[in-house]
């Protein structure tokens, strides 16, 4: 599932390609056809990213809410756009560029009240300037569930997925099994700082690289895939910090990875 950095990158990309244009819209697959026809030729103002949600705002207060879910993806490019094929839910385009959306969990025309209802279910998004760590702490510190589950709960904070969960907890020496309520404020503050830094780096790079060069097998050049993470998908491989075997277990329906020595307890 795309994490918050992917969603924010998409928003930046689509704003630079499409904001201010009256877009032609279609749904070759048919499932969004009526809404696409309704919005075709309407000026697109901007798209906002919030957690894993995208809100495409059009003149007249009309909004398209998109959630990619596990399988959704956008592709874009210059005109001429390719012939539509596959389950193409939503195409937006103008004379110079197009973007195609396939396989989203949500692609729906909504009003501001519906946007508010989606936002009301979400905790702060670390990639948004107004995000309040105090508010995340308030939501996290009263949960008895494992911190590895709380970090994935979009009502606690919005945008963190499985990779950032594993990596941010490892960097801070916190076991994903520890109850969220057992974290000290100092531990939380350090964890928050790591999450913000990692997500911003992900937006810049377009990929998740959490390791520093001195912790990689090849210390110069871009991080190779096998060097990009400390614990994510490294079950049974040695911890880059202490050499202990990385362990994994299912937490909040996804596989969590951690070092039992660097991240004790729980």
Residues forming the active site: 2-3, 52, 254
Which of 43-51, 54-62, 172-180, 243-251 is the region at the interface with Zn ion (rule: CB under 5 A)? Answer: 243-251
CB neighbour list of residue 141: distance below 8 Å, 6 or more residues apart: 180, 181, 183, 185, 188
| Closest to Zn ion by CB, 237 or 261 | 261
| Closest to Zn ion by CB, 32 or 258 | 258
Give the integer Cα–Cα distance in Å for 210 and 164. Answer: 9
| Closest to Zn ion by CB, 75 or 244 | 244
The structure tokens listed for 187 are 């531990």
Interaction between residue 231 and Zn ion (CB under 5 A) = no
Which DSSP category does 82 fall into? P
Interaction between residue 241 and Zn ion (CB under 5 A) = yes
Give the integer Cα–Cα distance in Å for 148 and 170. Answer: 11
CB of 172 to Zn ion, least distance (A): 12
The structure tokens listed for 44 are 């697109």
Position closest to Zn ion via CB: 239
Strands of the sheet containing 24-26, edge to edge, are: 24-26, 88-93, 97-102, 73-78
Interaction between residue 75 and Zn ion (CB under 5 A) = no
Interaction between residue 261 and Zn ion (CB under 5 A) = yes
User: Which run of H or of E encompasses 154?
Assistant: none
Which of 33-41, 95-103, 153-161, 233-241 is the region at the interface with Zn ion (rule: CB under 5 A)? Answer: 233-241
């Amino acid at each position: 599932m795309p994490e918050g950095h992917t969603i924010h990158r998409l928003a930046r990309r689509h704003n630079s390609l499409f904001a201010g244009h009256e877009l032609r819209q279609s749904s070759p697959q048919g499932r969004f056809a009526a809404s696409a026809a309704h919005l075709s030729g309407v000026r697109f103002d901007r798209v906002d990213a919030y957690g894993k949600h995208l809100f495409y705002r059009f003149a007249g207060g009309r909004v398209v809410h998109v959630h990619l879910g596990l399988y959704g993806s956008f592709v874009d490019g210059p005109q001429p756009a390719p012939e539509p094929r596959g389950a193409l839910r939503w195409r937006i385009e103008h004379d110079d560029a197009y973007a195609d959306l396939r396989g989203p969990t949500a692609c729906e025309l909504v009003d501001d009240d519906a946007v508010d209802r989606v936002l009301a279910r979400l905790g702060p998004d670390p990639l948004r300037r107004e995000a309040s760590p105090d508010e995340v702490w308030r939501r996290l510190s009263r949960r008895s569930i494992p911190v590895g589950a709380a970090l994935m709960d979009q009502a606690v904070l919005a945008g963190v997925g499985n990779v950032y969960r594993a990596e941010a907890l490892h960097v801070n020496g916190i076991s994903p099994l520890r109850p969220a309520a057992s974290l000290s404020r100092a531990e939380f503050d350090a964890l928050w700082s790591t999450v913000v830094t990692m997500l911003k780096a992900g937006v810049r790079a377009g990929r998740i690289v959490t390791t520093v060069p001195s912790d990689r097998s090849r210390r110069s050049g871009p991080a190779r895939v096998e060097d990009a993470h400390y614990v994510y998908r490294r079950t049974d491989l040695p911890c880059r910090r202490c050499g202990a075997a990385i362990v994994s277990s299912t937490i909040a329906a996804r596989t969590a990875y951690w070092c039992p020595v660097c991240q004790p307890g729980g």
